[in-house]
Structure 1
């Protein structure tokens, strides 16, 4: 009877992740900024979460000695070091090559006197430190985290693109004051409930890797005889433990960044769905070979006389201020021949004609694309990235999520409607 339960569990996981995949697909349906990932480039996508951190990050607590030893002495520092000493607030950017936000360590206690003491000068400058009575992230601590974000060099850079912060449904993350503070930095988007263990990048290995590399830092320290002697005597003060943890976290975070694989935590959880027709590298634990294919047909099909307002497209534009444009400078290539040998690098500008042959849309031709979000493009059609709407009176309708279709949408059109601009 165990096997049916296991199959049922896998089926539920698959169903839950399908819901989350559609959730991520929806947030990418916006005016295109990046030709691979849509509105939010990898450098604009962040995930933050908390990781409990003990002083001793040892999972199996094994003692190693030479084979054949008749007696093995094991001496541990005083009990309690294996319990949570602090909470690590980890924030990761989906772009492995981008500058990453500082880790934030939340220690236990009020910290009023400590923050005004000389101890702060001994903390590692690569991390930020906060205090909370129980080393938790409550509403007040979350607001202080937002303040630290505003001081972080990553978020002080001038940029035109909007940022997206992915997080779970922790009460502190939904605190109204925290949300107001985060509005200055970007948009908060909460994961659907009950699936964060599958779709949150930090839960997909980043948090575990941080604890692993912190443990490696302890192993290196134990090679120092003076440290080893103090370790076996269990004589580390709270001040010394705080200083050591900041240094270990700083070194561990650097090691993770050097690996250059932060983006994989986002890819494997479906947080970086591609829009260019290339396969998504989703690899969910417990769901081998999972593939997400959106069921709705996010395309515009103008091959019939049907009302355009009922069409669907792959992307949305929640802005209604489309450029009306001016078709007075439009020069069309004469003839109906279509250069199928064009490449995306050439960025052939085109104009889309309505059925009455009046100019309707401007865009960039994408002849190499054979599919639009998993759907095959008919041979008599060509994919175009919409850049401008020349006739705002002609509605493009709404997509499956009820959002307005517009600039930034990838759609395919009849080749007879697509004319190349000189």
Structure 2
């Protein structure tokens, strides 16, 4: 709240992250007793250390235990609701809401055994993907009609840009919620890469598909007949629309380079190396995707690009965890030199689905050796797996390139303007 005392004159953008409601489910007084049964005498107190065994196994939880967990979670919701109200009250007292747009949402929901688990990140069912989205404020009068169609968090960025009067880039995948003529049945997508699982979901109106990379399995749902997603269908109820939407999403989301770092279940592994290219290395990122055993060390001790943007150096120490490094090149499709070492408990460096790689190696995203992947990373041999999804231009699909991008490709020798050029 102290931020508001120094708010400058003129427009401003404020992002406030309320971590609650989230495990641990420990709302502060008086919200800790607001919903709970005072006569409860069981073991559940909302701490994640106590709840973790229930995430990965299915020990007995009584009806009273489950009620206790949900009641504590509801207390956290009430606490955050109160804090948002307090913040808005302070803003109103300072005159900051006279011409304001307020957006409240969440990045995920929470499961309470609807599909056999607790928490989030293990499935893509409705209880984890369906989140609140409220857009309100004086700046929206006459601009933001109530929406009944399916919308996505991808729509938030273009909505905020539209409210600010800024141009919305054509490459931005979402559609502003202020648009009067939004497509009626745009697909919405969900994704989870935690705990060794790779899951994706697509939904069009009341039809949905969940895809599991392990075994390339798909479950389809008709949400009108089965809103709880308890009866998966073998056939696509959309006549192929869902499968097509999911394939289109994967083609864009996967494009580029991916290094999957898999630590041993019973020890630590150190991954370090250098990645170089004559092209720029763009959008480099690293993250943990989940544990495959008792949680141990998980740390990127180094992750930095050189000043020219053409070299990336990293060092990561993992124990019983899966991590990932992802990046792309500009222009896309450029060759990349990898010099990566994996040390520790029997960890190696592999291409695609598991071909061993030693020393420095130069790879192109069109190289078929990096197109494969283990069917189940959690069961794969520990090591660093180098995988690439070629850009659409290399895959033979149409790619719209700007004049600047074409010039970069020519300079690096990837575009042939001769008579035989396609």
* Fold match (TM-score > 0.5): no
Between structure 1 and structure 2, the one with the greater Rg is 1
What is the TM-score of this pair, normalised by structure 1?
Answer: 0.22
Q: Greater helix share, 1 or 2? A: 1
